[in-house]
Structure 1
Amino acid sequence: MSNNTLFNRTKPPAPEPESPVQFPEWHETQLSNGLKVLIYEEHSIPTVLLKLITKTGSIHDNDLYQLAGFTYTLLTHGTTSRSATQIADEIDFYGATLSSSAGFDKGTVSLNMMTKYLDEGLDLMADVVLNPTFPESELEFVRAQALSRLKASYAEADHLASDAFNKSVYQSHPYGNPSAGTEASLQAIQTADVKAFYEKYAAPNNAFLIVAGDVRIDDIVEKLEARFGAWQPKPVEPVSYPTPSESNANKVTVVHKDGAVQSTIYVGHLGFKRNHPDYIAFSVMNMILGGYFGSRLNLNIREQKGFTYSIHSTLEGNKELGDFYVTVKVRNEVTREAIQEIMTELEKIRSEKVTEAELEAVKQYMTGMFVIRNESPAAIASRLLVTELYDLPKDYNQTYSQKVRAVTSDDVLAVAQKYLHPANAYIVLSGDAKAVAPSLSDFGEVSCLDAMGNKFEG
């Protein structure tokens, strides 16, 4: 008897029934100054992770692109009692990591270290948060690094396509600002700008702190109160921005990269913010479309056509707005055909119900990966961060799997029809405009730009 009579190796095995797994318990409290603290106790490893999140970021840069990035990078570069070198030496001595950075919607200070050195680590973390000096010499160091990264980015196809796509979708909204800044903005940022930015947005009533790992709730709250309790709250004025207009036709943008032999493609449009009520149903639809290896886009464009090694679709849900896109890298010769296949798959998922087999496989995958990705304190901290930053329901993680399992094929079709707009998409790619642009005119009006965003004549 051959093995093939026992096992059909041409088909994956059916998934086993899902085991009930609960999201772990966590505790929420506040310090005397109103700083919200989210605590997850886990004692299997004697380490602890702390993340202080301030509700600000590049969305508040205005015309000084990268101001938030400079500000948060510089927090660990000097305080009233420690130089940048002293901070680095202390962190190395305790075998810890201390980092600070900014994204679209958040500024982060993160500390990860062994529990037995937690007192010393908290002293250092509090010092960089409460007493930064933003030294001029360190600002110049950060500026030089940023200018170097900016220069390198002009040759990176991924960066060129991503920035051009964001600009097309978000227009004058800050989410569309150049991700690495511009030479003019990087040169313009001064110490006074950095200090003013931090003074304006850094406050306990505009922040929250996540603690995950080997701690006891009462003990860590007492330690945090001793270090951060004197941090004074203050008014933080909300800022509003105009909502980008949606396209009423397909628009094609090619960012020229001389001599490129492949195109980095983005196809998409405005989506919705992270706490939208249809986010989970859309996520299920997106997973079927292009969210994992067994997705339609991957089976078509990678497995059947052989155009690429990887293709995926994504809903980027931010705090204020979001965007949906499909992205792929393909050879110049198949650029047009790859875009056409993307459009075909977008139209297909909008026009007919997904099969029950597809839907069940994706729901099993999503609920299974949710469990796997909750296996460490760092992973739980990330879940809590998303829930708090994006104003999700308190029980979001506890009910996530249940809500995924409740999505039907009718729900998938409804969100696809409501939120996917392949006839009004931005088709943005970085590649050799002379080689690929002539073949794209039937998708829509074609504009060619250089790496600086200026019109490219060819």
Structure 2
Amino acid sequence: MRRLLSALLVSTLAACASNPKPPPPSPESPALGAAPAEKPAPKPEDPEAFRDKPPEPGKPPELVLPTFQRATLDNGLTVLVSTRKELPLVFAGVAFAAGSAQDPKGKGGLAELSYRMLLEGAGKRDTVALDNAFADLGVSPAMDVHADGAEVGVRVLKRNVDPALALLADVVMRPTFDAKVFDRRKNQQLRDLVRQLSSPIVLAQLAALSAIFSDDHPYAHMADGVPQTVQALTLADAKGFYQKHSGPKAAALILTGDITLDEAVALAKKHLGNWKGPGTPPPAPPTPAAPPRQNVYVVPKPELAQTVMLVGRPGLAAGHPDEYALELATTVYGGFFGSRLNMNLREAKGYSYGAGAFMDTRLGVGPLLSYTAVRQDVTGPALTELVKELAGLKERPITSKELESAREGLIRAIPGGFETIEGLGATAASIYFKRRPLNELERSVEGLRDATSAEVQRVAELYLAPDAMQIVLVGDPSTIQEQVSPLNLGKLTPVEPDAAPTPAAAK
């Protein structure tokens, strides 16, 4: 019996050890048999939360620059080619080395009128027949006249390059210069000028070119001329200009797109190999002086709701050692939306819809300009801010963030100049006009990338100092007198807009 009780005791103790009694429930624990508490529902996601963090920019595409090739025919004609095989298209054009900078004194607009006459009849075709011949190829020729040159060209299917060049050869080698057509074209240019001179911006450009360059300087006028000078032009003037400045040694055949250099040379020999003419590339215009500002030039336009402002000075010629550093400094100051000038006048003050600045490098020294149009009632304050931003480039040196933004923007914008074969042709023409090396695009990218902060700051203080900037204002004269005169920026000097021709002269 004792053994049995001992065994039962041992069994009972073992059972208790293997199945311990549970502890009493804690206040936080649910009672035995009670249903478990439900978990709180998750907070719904904010559908606008993604706006708290801007998306990361993607990897920029690789910069691929076009290449250019050059050949010279026995008669001296330059052939410039850039091959692009994506589509069976070719841009074919002829670039001339003489532009509006070669207009004789008192004959502004002569280059424009002379080159426009090339498309008004050539060879055995009059204006209509020539236009129809181009239309039969599915194209319409374009003509552009610049200070340093001119270009006529078409974009055609590759299979039509040969007939298109045959027409262009007639245009440049055998223009008719018909007297009646000359009168019509001249009057059309006068009508265009009447329309242009109604624009305050055009009036500002005319006055600014005259203020930045002396009146005798080749860059002191626009390519279209002014009514007085165009009205005086004759057919003999136009013929004489073209005969003097045309010829294979003063021109380039430009072919871009689905074409090779060998194909281009063969076509050039076929259509332009017999071209003759005395023209030679003209010298670069002289470097203008940049004296301190003494006057503020005012083009009076009573009751104009806005005041147009152009502020500038002579800049640089293409290829100058300071070119890329100054382009960066100008961009920081006014060359893109986030520039100092635009963020001040537009975003901070609300004076203007926009303000900017640019540097126009040419064969010679081109203009360096800043521009805006502001509400009439804030003419004085806006001009004050513009001048303060120029001075601020020295007082508040360009930051590394500003410089890198300008650098990135300028380099990434370069491909926009050759996204079409016409743009590629215009790039080739610019290289020819400015007499730059064929690797000019690579040099530009390298120059923009390598310009140091110290170099950019140096040229900003040297070229963008406010005292050397000439000021042109187009607007209400009483407002300008009241608001600008107290600023002591110079003597207010009225500049009368060039008079439009009489209706009889513009028939």
Equivalent residue letter for 1:122: L
Preserved CA contact (<8 Å) 1:350 1:420: no
Structure-2 separation of matches of 1:214 and 1:178: 35
Equivalent residue letter for 1:77: E
Corresponding residue SS for 1:319: coil
Equivalent residue letter for 2:255: V
Residue 240 of structure 1, CA deviation:
7.0
Find the counterpart in structure 2 of residue 312 from structure 1. 356
Residue 17 of structure 1, CA deviation:
6.0
Structure-1 separation of matches of 2:384 and 2:162: 58
Structure-1 separation of matches of 2:283 and 2:448: 34
Indicate whether 1:40 and 2:82 are aligned: yes
Structure-2 separation of matches of 1:138 and 1:421: 49
Aligned length, in residue pairs: 452
Given candidates 217, 226, 251, the residue that maps to 2:261 is 217
Find the counterpart in structure 2 of residue 76 from structure 1. 119
Find the counterpart in structure 2 of residue 138 from structure 1. 181
Preserved CA contact (<8 Å) 2:303 2:476: yes
Preserved CA contact (<8 Å) 1:255 1:430: yes
Residue 14 of structure 1, CA deviation:
6.7
Structure-1 separation of matches of 2:279 and 2:133: 34
Which is further off, 26-35 or 319-328? 26-35
Find the counterpart in structure 2 of residue 282 from structure 1. 326
Given candidates 257, 268, 280, the residue that maps to 2:312 is 268
Check 1:399–1:249 CA distance in 2 against 1; reply closer, same or farther (3 A cut): closer
Structure-1 separation of matches of 2:222 and 2:418: 33
Which is further off, 238-247 or 417-426? 238-247
Corresponding residue SS for 1:43: coil
Percent of paired sites with the same residue = 27
Preserved CA contact (<8 Å) 2:243 2:279: no
Corresponding residue SS for 1:97: coil
Residue 282 of structure 1, CA deviation:
0.8
Find the counterpart in structure 2 of residue 200 from structure 1. 244
Find the counterpart in structure 1 of residue 477 from structure 2. 433
Find the counterpart in structure 1 of residue 493 from structure 2. 447
Residue 387 of structure 1, CA deviation:
2.2
Preserved CA contact (<8 Å) 2:96 2:251: yes
Check 1:356–1:8 CA distance in 2 against 1; reply closer, same or farther (3 A cut): farther
Deviations 1:192-219 (A, max 9, x none): 1111111111011111121111223322
Structure-2 separation of matches of 1:167 and 1:273: 18
Indicate whether 1:186 and 2:230 are aligned: yes
Deviations 1:295-323 (A, max 9, x none): 11111111111111121101111212211
Given candidates 377, 380, 384, the residue that maps to 1:340 is 384
Corresponding residue SS for 1:254: strand
Check 1:93–1:370 CA distance in 2 against 1; reply closer, same or farther (3 A cut): same
- Normalised by the length of structure 1, the TM-score is 0.93
Structure-2 separation of matches of 1:120 and 1:198: 24
Find the counterpart in structure 1 of residue 91 from structure 2. 49
Equivalent residue letter for 1:368: R
Check 1:244–1:217 CA distance in 2 against 1; reply closer, same or farther (3 A cut): closer
- Normalised by the length of structure 2, the TM-score is 0.84
Preserved CA contact (<8 Å) 1:353 1:410: no
Preserved CA contact (<8 Å) 1:91 1:97: yes
Indicate whether 1:400 and 2:482 are aligned: no
Residue 72 of structure 1, CA deviation:
0.3
Check 1:167–1:35 CA distance in 2 against 1; reply closer, same or farther (3 A cut): same
Equivalent residue letter for 1:145: Q
Structure-2 separation of matches of 1:396 and 1:3: 50
1:50-449 aligned at under 5 Å gives the runs: 50-62=92-104, 63-171=106-214, 172-177=216-221, 179-234=223-278, 236=280, 238=282, 243-441=287-485, 442-449=488-495
Structure-2 separation of matches of 1:275 and 1:299: 31
Corresponding residue SS for 2:183: helix
Residue 258 of structure 1, CA deviation:
2.6
Find the counterpart in structure 2 of residue 22 from structure 1. 64
Preserved CA contact (<8 Å) 1:161 1:255: yes
Which is further off, 431-440 or 155-164? 431-440
Check 1:237–1:304 CA distance in 2 against 1; reply closer, same or farther (3 A cut): closer
Corresponding residue SS for 1:196: helix
Corresponding residue SS for 1:310: strand
Gaps of 5+ in 2: 1-44, 500-507
Equivalent residue letter for 1:449: V
Residue 242 of structure 1, CA deviation:
5.4
Which is further off, 15-24 or 167-176? 15-24
Preserved CA contact (<8 Å) 1:257 1:430: yes
Which is further off, 131-140 or 101-110? 101-110
